[in-house]
Structure 1
Amino acid sequence: MKGLYVLVLALGEDLRVVTRGGRVFDLPRGVYFYVGSARGPGGVESRVRRHISKSKRLFWHIDYVTSNPGARVLGYFAVTGKGIREYVLSTLLSEVFEPVKGFGSSDDPAAVSHMFRCQWSIPECLERVSRTLGGLGVTVKFIRAP
């Protein structure tokens, strides 16, 4: 399935990320959501498998997080529906969660971020994402990582 997704990550320790472009992001341990799209071959499932893999070429900002041993992908929300864009998901999540300013949004200058930190428990964080995105009139399904 091609489309949008919201990756769910847990950082077991504080993490400093320095991207190939020299951007520095300090991420305190906790639960994070990353908004992405996968329109190429393999779609969302293929992209999430790449995120889960610790060994990969570091290309996107999120690669610098998911390749770290202290980061664990818990799963993802698959978001399907016509006309929905990353910017819409990012904007809604920024109203509920703390944005990591500039993370993953260099190709989406209108968005403050594509990465968000949740300060509640994992179940509460997942429920808040479901509730927030559920009002869009799209299908939102959480899939646990293997």
Structure 2
Amino acid sequence: MDWNCYVLVLEVMCDIEAKLARSSVILKPGVYLYIGSSRGPGGALARIIRHVSSSKKAWWHVDSLTLSPCCALKGFYLLNSACKDCELEVSQRLARLFSYVPGFGSADKPQSPSHLFICSEDYENCTCKVYSILERIECVVDVIYVDAGGDNLRIIK
């Protein structure tokens, strides 16, 4: 399967200062969704592994979250997308339902409001809503959710 797009589900447990291009923002505790893509070697799964690694240099905006001890990966969606720009499609859909951090991770995509979204609900409701949105995007061929919150990974399709 060619997983080329992803959505990280992150739990922020205490305030985190996230760096933006020309400023920074304080992220309050809660559930956050980060959209990314990778059409390179290893696809989205390789990118997710990089995101959860603690031995990396900060490169992307999301690294200010994933490198923080106040942030935990709860799970992630893997998407097999035929979209020309999966991040744009997903971003525009999520922006209809969730608040977001303007411009976070999307400086190269002016049509995307953000790549970081704030879910004001609990983890369960948030993941259900996101799955429902993703499976209705026409150019998304397949989507799975991997729950990383416990001792074992659980794949939910």
- Shorter-normalised TM-score: what interval? over 0.9
List runs of 5+ in structure 1 lacking aligned partners: none
Distance in 2 between residues matched to 1:12 and 1:61, nearest whole Å: 18
- Residue by residue, what CA displacement relative to the aligned partner does 1:28-80 show, whole Å, maximum 9, x if unpaired? 11000001001111111111111111221111000111000110111211111
Distance in 1 between residues matched to 2:59 and 2:23, nearest whole Å: 13
Contact residue 98 and residue 116 of structure 1 kept, 8 A: yes
The partner residue of 2:144 within 138, 141, 146 is: 141
* TM-score, normalised with respect to structure 1: 0.92
How many positions carry a matched residue from both structures? 145
Structure 1 segments, 4+ long, off by >4 Å, are none
Contact residue 54 and residue 69 of structure 1 kept, 8 A: no
Q: CA deviation at 1:22?
A: 4.2
Equivalent residue number for residue 14 of structure 1? 15
Tell whether 2:27 aligns with 1:27.
yes
Equivalent residue number for residue 80 of structure 1? 80
Equivalent residue number for residue 61 of structure 2? 61
**Quick one: which amino acid aligns to residue 118 of structure 1?**
C
Distance in 1 between residues matched to 2:104 and 2:81, nearest whole Å: 25
Written as runs of structure 1 = structure 2, the 5 A alignment for 1:82-97 is 82-83=82-83, 85-97=86-98
Contact residue 51 and residue 73 of structure 1 kept, 8 A: no
CA RMSD of aligned residues (A): 1.4
Distance in 2 between residues matched to 1:5 and 1:128, nearest whole Å: 15
Distance in 2 between residues matched to 1:93 and 1:81, nearest whole Å: 16
**Quick one: which amino acid aligns to residue 43 of structure 2?**
G
Contact residue 2 and residue 40 of structure 1 kept, 8 A: no
SS of equivalent residue, structure 1 residue 116: strand
Distance in 1 between residues matched to 2:3 and 2:128, nearest whole Å: 24
Contact residue 83 and residue 89 of structure 2 kept, 8 A: no
Equivalent residue number for residue 101 of structure 2? 100
Tell whether 2:98 aligns with 1:112.
no
List runs of 5+ in structure 2 lacking aligned partners: none
Q: State the identity as a percent.
A: 35
Q: CA deviation at 1:124?
A: 0.1
Q: CA deviation at 1:102?
A: 1.0
Contact residue 34 and residue 115 of structure 2 kept, 8 A: yes
